Amino acid sequence: MEAGPANLGFDWQNILLERVRNGLPGGADVLLLADRFYPSVELFEWLHAQGWHYRLRLKGNLNVDPGF
């Protein structure tokens, strides 16, 4: 994903998310809600590494392979 007028790109997301993470109490249960222009592989990897839960809206024409 490239940064554009409707998204920040992961470099900026990472800066913001690290600030949020550093302000949370240890062991906080986090659920990130975001709109469809935020998803990226880097974001999903970061969220998994933090143990955060997430709900991200996706475009209606996106095909998802659940891998089963």
Q: Each residue of 2-52: pLDDT tens digit?
A: 545 556 788 988 999 999 999 999 999 999 998 876 678 898 899 999 999
Q: Tokens for 59, please give them.
A: 């475009």
Say what the pLDDT of residue 4 is: 54
Contacts of 67 (CB under 8 A, 6+ apart): none
Distance of alpha carbon 63 from alpha carbon 17, whole angstroms:
27
Residue 43, SS3?
Answer: helix
Say what the pLDDT of residue 1 is: 45
> What is the value of pTM for the model shown?
0.71
